[in-house]
Chains A and B, each alone.
Chain A
Amino acid sequence: MTTQTQKTTERNESQLRQFAANFIENKLAVVGLFLIVCVALVTVFASQIAPYSPTAQNYNAVLEGPSMAHPFGTDDLGRDIFSRVLFGYQTVMTITTSGVVVAFILGTVTGLTAGYRGGRIDQLLMRSVDVLMAFPSLILALALIAALGPSKWGVALVLGIAYTPIFARVARSEAVSLREEQFIKSLEVRGASQPRIMFRHILPNAVGPLIVTVTLQFAFGILTTATLSFLGVGVQPPDPSLGRMLTDGKDYLDTAWWFSVFPGIAIMIPVIGFNTIGDGLRDTFDPKQVNR
């Protein structure tokens, strides 16, 4: 066992270095990483950075254009759009992170169990996954919201359910190919328990494709959360939400473009970030693909 673990760590270290070198070569992905770090920082420190309260109304400064006092201008109630964007990031990132974590846990457990156990359990689990996959993801989200009612945590739960199948498929295909490997077979002979094999030995080896999935689902999750808010079935006021700001701002596009353009761009930044990182990671994990 010890030699096995040692070998694995050694291999992991050199792989990690190689991996980092390959990743840095992909300039687009590095730009993406930079965008994500920036978004993460302003999200965490929103209340320190924001010059105003996101809900403070000022009727003397309604629909004012960008200025030193209001870098992104103000909205129809005189609220500072820059501050609202920062707090909007908090909302969307909280929801997306929770959703992706839920999907990761549910999907990975389902997929690893299906792939490792095989047989009837595999059939049953993957048929259920197929059922969820039969719905276009936004339609599934809308259907669940119809039942659960619109709310912040409702959206997180809905994302979790809607993205479970993707993680399940990725985890399953990794588990199926690893199941037959020599080191798993020898662990079985030594009497390691099934959960131990699945989570201590198969999962670490499946981590690459899963990380790619996590980054890409983050991009989708941010878009979906914003879309649901835009449609009026997601985050409800007074929680600041980037999608909702566009709903309100779109009627002022010819007179106050900043009202919708800044929130729109704000949504795009982390999505571009996660998409380029996801692509970069995929190329790095799977150099055979010529996606560059």
Chain B
Amino acid sequence: MEWYEYLIKRVLLLVPTLFGVSIFVFFLVHLVPGSPAVAMLGVRATEERIAEIENDLGLNEPLPVQYIDWFTGVLTGDLGQSYSFNGPVSSILVDRFFVSLELVLLTLLVSLCVSIPLGIAAALYKNSPIDYFSMSVGITGVSVPTFFSGVVFIAIFAVWQGWFPVSGYVVPSEDIVANLRHMALPTLTMTLVAVAVAMRMMRSSMIETLGEEYIRFLKAKGLRRRSVLFGHALKNSFIPVITVIGLQFGYMLSGAVVVEQIFAIPGLGRTVLQAVLQRDYPLVQGAVLLLAVWFSVVNLLTDLIVSFLNPRIMEEET
């Protein structure tokens, strides 16, 4: 199978998934016990206001018509009106998307810079202090709740030492330094989890590669240790790490909800939470849809990169 055929196949597979996602997101509103309009407005709402909202949401139409209306809107970028933010959902989401994107990219960058060297070192010096250190970082990272580490970091680095602001957000185009200072602790909090998983994968993958026949052959051939490591072993050990990072991305988006909430960063995660708390259904739908599409596209890209690096995977999957 050629790579482009695989690419087309994977993209086509995404279509039914995203179609299912859209149906799920659409039906969310219909899972609400009673009328969503009453849930949004509270029991003290007037009859007229309820009728108005129900009309706005198109709840009086038959379901298939409602779905088609909603889905046409999604395709044309019209996700309805947000009640709690008083504006079109799509423009709210666009602003917040870039805030979350910055957080996620910073986390990705920092966690790769830490986890790859640490993972390699742990693999090379198995059962040494550095290996034990990496193992304890690994276990702590996946076991500490994000909200706990976030709160502890605020206490230590913001309240006690005063190195970073406690919370808030500055637009990077306004003041990039202030922006990064505000992003430092949120990134650190998210990185702790991301490092744990990527580093353990790097370590086990490196150990496995180093045990392979061809690496032993290269060593036996008299190739320098450094060129065996960095020329051959590293490249092959990267592949499972990339897969893991792709999967990690979902956890990062989940983690962003918590981190953005603690540090009062106006990103997508915080928006979802606020929308849920406010029962702002059009905004919940829009944000959840956007996050699912984002996650799916990243997963697709990860699979494509991995299959590009290791063409055998394409054969295994068909």
Contacts and interface: CB of A to CB of B under 8 A. Distances in A.
A39 interface: no
A192 interface: no
B91 interface: no
Contact of A227 (B32, B145, B155, B200): B145
A290 B122 CA distance: 13
Given A223-B145, A268-B144, A253 B284 contact: no
A15 B251 CA distance: 36
Contacts of B21: 131, 134-135
B7 to A, nearest CB: 18
A134 B28 contact: no
A146 interface: yes
Contacts of B200: 291
Given A138-B254, A243-B147, A289-B204, A146 B291 contact: no
A233 B152 CA distance: 22
B288 A139 contact: yes
B295 interface: yes
A253 B152 CA distance: 8
B31 A147 contact: yes
Interface string B17-29: 1101100110011
Contacts of B204: 289-291
B28 A143 contact: yes
B160 A139 contact: no
Given A143-B25, A147-B28, A276-B139, A268 B272 contact: no
A235 to B, nearest CB: 14
Interface string A236-272: 0000000100100010011001001100100110011
Contacts of A264: 144-145, 148, 151-152
Contact of A135 (B145, B257, B258, B292): B292
A136 interface: yes
Contacts of B277: 232-233
Contact of A219 (B18, B33, B143, B154): B143
A231 B260 CA distance: 11
A52 interface: no
A177 B39 CA distance: 48
A53 interface: no
Given A131-B21, A233-B277, A139 B272 contact: yes
Contacts of A275: 139, 142-143
Interface string B21-51: 1001100110111000001000000000000
Chain A interface size, as a band, is: 35 or more
Contacts of B159: 253-254
A130 B25 CA distance: 14
Contacts of A276: 139
Given A131-B17, A135-B295, A231-B273, A147 B143 contact: no
Given A145-B276, A231-B258, A232-B277, 16 more contacts: A127-B20, A134-B18, A136-B250, A137-B250, A137-B251, A139-B288, A142-B284, A143-B276, A143-B288, A144-B28, A226-B147, A231-B147, A254-B159, A254-B160, A267-B148, A290-B207
Interface of B: 16-18, 20-21, 24-25, 28-29, 31-33, 39, 139, 142-148, 151-152, 154-155, 159-160, 200, 204, 207-208, 211, 249-251, 253-255, 257-258, 261, 272-273, 275-277, 279, 281, 284, 288, 291-292, 295-296
Closest 8 CB pairs of A and B: A138-B254, A131-B20, A147-B31, A264-B148, A136-B250, A136-B253, A253-B155, A146-B276
13 contacts: A135-B21, A138-B255, A144-B31, A148-B31, A226-B147, A227-B258, A233-B276, A246-B148, A246-B151, A253-B155, A253-B159, A272-B143, A275-B139
Interface of A: 28, 127-128, 130-132, 134-139, 142-149, 219, 223, 226-227, 230-233, 243, 246, 250, 253-254, 257, 260-261, 264, 267-268, 271-272, 275-276, 289-291
